[in-house]
Amino acid sequence: MASPGAWRGRRWLLPSVVLVLLGQMAAVMVVTSVQQTPTIDEPVYVGTAVTYLHQHGLSYNPEHPPLGKLIMAVGLTFAQPQLDPAFHGDQTQLGRHVLYEAGNDPYQMMFLARLPIIVLTLLFGLVVFAFARDLAGPVAGVLALALYAFSPDVIAHGSLATLDLPAIGFLLTATWLLWRARQHPLPCLPLAGIALGAALATRMSVLPAVPLLLGLSLLAPRRLRALAPAGVGVIAAAVVWLAYLAVDPALRWVQPTGIPAVPGLKGVLVDWLPLPDAYRDGMRIQLGFENATHRGFLFGRRYQGSLWYYLPAALLVKTPLGLLALWLAGTVTLLAVPKQRIAALYLLLTPTVLFAVAMTGARDFGTRYVIVLPVFLAVAAGTAVVVRRRLAQIGVAALTLFVIVSSLRTFPYYLPYSNEAFGGPAATHRHLHDSNVDWGQDLGRLADRLRQRYPGEPVWLVYKGAGVPSAYGIRAKDPLTVPATDVRGLLVVSNSSIAKATGRLAVLLGDSGTPVDAVGHSITIYRRP
């Protein structure tokens, strides 16, 4: 690792390194984005963003606040998206209508919705760099940025029109500003409130972190300690209100039918939230999701419900081995080095709480629910450079190189990434399912593969995703609607469907023998005589 003196001697070197790291990240995210068709959640967000532009209403996708979708709408304006004023349907049907039925170009629409999220992800990389530099100098900043920029989970979800990465990026920004507020309370405290409000206005899953950040505001200079938590909280709430007002200045909200009742303390807390009715009803919908029972898949085992250890196990599969080691090194550094211990309050408490909350959730769908770890712990890992022993520095450099190589090897298949200990991205589907590996992203690649290698062959398709196969030129039949003996030709199945196959699909797969091809590590092709 370069010494701090080396950076001071060449003022151009540090910005050049930062630019190179962010430039490569931008390149791989753009390439990844344009090669992927819509994932399961994206059409809902894109369709909702289009209604914001056309109808200025809050009725679609109320379970998520509007800011993330407003950000997507900024990109979508360049496509001048069409929406049939007579359309009526649920949010899933809305997404399909906007992308495939209203005369819009689905490739253009998806890229323009994803582009603002890509830009945000890059800007959050600057926050990662600045935070680590403030803690431990420019070398720490470069290390933290490198780990962020080569994190497969960050690249995967920073390339999509989804809400997970933006919400956590805003949360990290608020945390960094609270750190700086210890020395520069103005303007850092108000800006921290804005960033915290942006996180809350993007995704409700960050709510458990609010008390922690308000507590950190008490570490501001003594003269402001009595006012800081209230000030930050009021500003954050105001940002949430402004996000809703930006969609509909009249806040026309009619409570949808079927909003679940939330009993007990959770219900009381939801009622007390000083936020719009639409936000509180969205929170009730989210809590209702937690009462559902889902089918899961982990290490070849199918199960009903949720497993408390699912997310730790998924992280072991989905995180580069060098990154796991550097997260641990950074955590130990924060706790063991006296000058860094105060930073542990900022960098370790929030991910610990959000991770613990996510582990108790009902949805064992993917590491995206704990994207807080690669974002916050990249900064924590940067502090490992304060250990000046040469062997430690060599170890940090070697582990960082290992992370970079592992990340580059998976390009451009970041969603199905798994580390070398679990066989790499080609083997992820044996261990995990859903957004960890197969989120419907490879429909376009499947169309290309069928056209290039299997022209004219009959295709039977079981696709788990939000895309419309025919929109990409795929002419396929449903094998689950006819007797197994009638299914002859290519049997194409999404790997998440294979992971949880039962009944007729399980029989079909059992009779189909060895796969003949795979697409994007998320779709498997069999040939049935």
Q: Which residue has the tokens 């580390």?
A: 419
Rounded mean pLDDT, 106-134: 98
- 345, with CB counted inside 10 A (0-12, 13-18, 19+), is middle
The DSSP H or E segment spanning 524 is: strand 523-528
- Mean pLDDT is highest, among 87-91, 223-227, 401-405, for 401-405
Q: Quick count: other Cβ atoms within 10 Å of Cβ 264? A: 7
Cα distances from 276 to residues 241, 312, 364, in angstroms, run: 6, 35, 29
Residues in the chain: 529
**pLDDT at 188 (0 to 100):** 96
Please check whether residue 375 is in contact with residue 346, taking contact to mean a CB–CB distance below 8 angstroms: no
**pLDDT at 41 (0 to 100):** 96
Please check whether residue 399 is in contact with residue 324, taking contact to mean a CB–CB distance below 8 angstroms: no
Q: Distance between CA atoms of 413 and 220, rounded to whole angstroms?
A: 43
Cα distances from 5 to residues 2, 9, 48, in angstroms, run: 8, 6, 51
In this predicted structure, the answer to whether residue 386 has a pLDDT above a threshold of 90 is yes
**pLDDT at 257 (0 to 100):** 86
**pLDDT tens for each residue of 148-159:** 999 999 999 999
**pLDDT tens for each residue of 351-364:** 999 999 999 999 99
Q: Quick count: other Cβ atoms within 10 Å of Cβ 78? A: 10
CB burial readout 440-458, b (16+ within 10 A) else e: bbbbbbbbebbeeebeeee
Please check whether residue 322 is in contact with residue 399, taking contact to mean a CB–CB distance below 8 angstroms: yes
Q: Distance between CA atoms of 431 and 427, rounded to whole angstroms?
A: 7
**pLDDT tens for each residue of 223-265:** 888 899 999 999 999 999 999 999 999 999 999 888 999 999 9
Rounded mean pLDDT, 93-97: 97
| DSSP SS3 for 83 | coil
Rounded mean pLDDT, 182-211: 96
In this predicted structure, the answer to whether residue 290 has a pLDDT above a threshold of 60 is yes
In this predicted structure, the answer to whether residue 1 has a pLDDT above a threshold of 60 is no
Residue 303 phi/psi, 5-degree rounding, is: -155, 165
**pLDDT tens for each residue of 441-464:** 999 999 999 999 999 999 999 999
Q: Are strands 301-304 and 459-462 parallel, antiparallel or unpaired?
A: unpaired
Please check whether residue 484 is in contact with residue 116, taking contact to mean a CB–CB distance below 8 angstroms: no
Q: Distance between CA atoms of 444 and 461, rounded to whole angstroms?
A: 14
| DSSP SS3 for 249 | coil
Across all residues in the chain, what is the average pLDDT? 95
Rounded mean pLDDT, 363-378: 96
The pTM score is: 0.95
Residue 304 phi/psi, 5-degree rounding, is: -105, 140
- 86 backbone φψ class: left, alpha, beta (φ>0; ψ -120 to 50): alpha
**pLDDT tens for each residue of 454-500:** 999 999 999 999 999 999 999 999 999 999 999 999 999 999 999 99
Rounded mean pLDDT, 151-177: 98
The residue type at 291 = N
How much of the chain, in percent, has pLDDT values that exceed 90? Answer: 91
**pLDDT at 9 (0 to 100):** 59
Q: Distance between CA atoms of 192 and 178, rounded to whole angstroms?
A: 6
**pLDDT at 12 (0 to 100):** 86
DSSP string of 300-347, one letter each residue: TEEEES--TTHHHHHHHHHS-HHHHHHHHHHHHHHHHSGGGHHHHHHH
DSSP letter, residue 99: I
Rounded mean pLDDT, 289-312: 93
**pLDDT at 490 (0 to 100):** 97
Q: Quick count: other Cβ atoms within 10 Å of Cβ 380? A: 31
Confidence of residue 5 (pLDDT cuts 50, 70, 90): low
Q: Are strands 459-462 and 489-494 parallel, antiparallel or unpaired?
A: parallel
**pLDDT at 250 (0 to 100):** 94
467 contact partners, CB below 8 Å, separation of at least 6: 37, 38, 106, 440, 443
* Structure tokens that stand for 141 in this block: 């900043």
DSSP letter, residue 103: S
Rounded mean pLDDT, 217-224: 89
Rounded mean pLDDT, 336-356: 96
- 513 backbone φψ class: left, alpha, beta (φ>0; ψ -120 to 50): left
Rounded mean pLDDT, 205-230: 93
Please check whether residue 146 is in contact with residue 404, taking contact to mean a CB–CB distance below 8 angstroms: yes
In this predicted structure, the answer to whether residue 8 has a pLDDT above a threshold of 80 is no
Please check whether residue 200 is in contact with residue 242, taking contact to mean a CB–CB distance below 8 angstroms: no
How much of the chain, in percent, has pLDDT values that exceed 70? Answer: 98
In this predicted structure, the answer to whether residue 45 has a pLDDT above a threshold of 80 is yes
Q: List the one residue out of 177, 170, 165, 193 whose CA is nearest residue 130.
A: 177
Q: Distance between CA atoms of 173 and 299, rounded to whole angstroms?
A: 36
DSSP string of 448-511, one letter each residue: HHHHHH-TT--EEEE--SSS-GGGGT---B-GGGS-GGG--EEEEEEHHHHHT--HHHHHHHHH
* Long-range contacts, stretch 173-176, CB < 8 angstroms, 24+ apart: 173/124, 173/127, 173/198, 174/199, 174/213, 175/131, 175/213, 175/216, 175/346, 175/347, 175/350, 175/376, 176/127, 176/130, 176/131, 176/134, 176/346
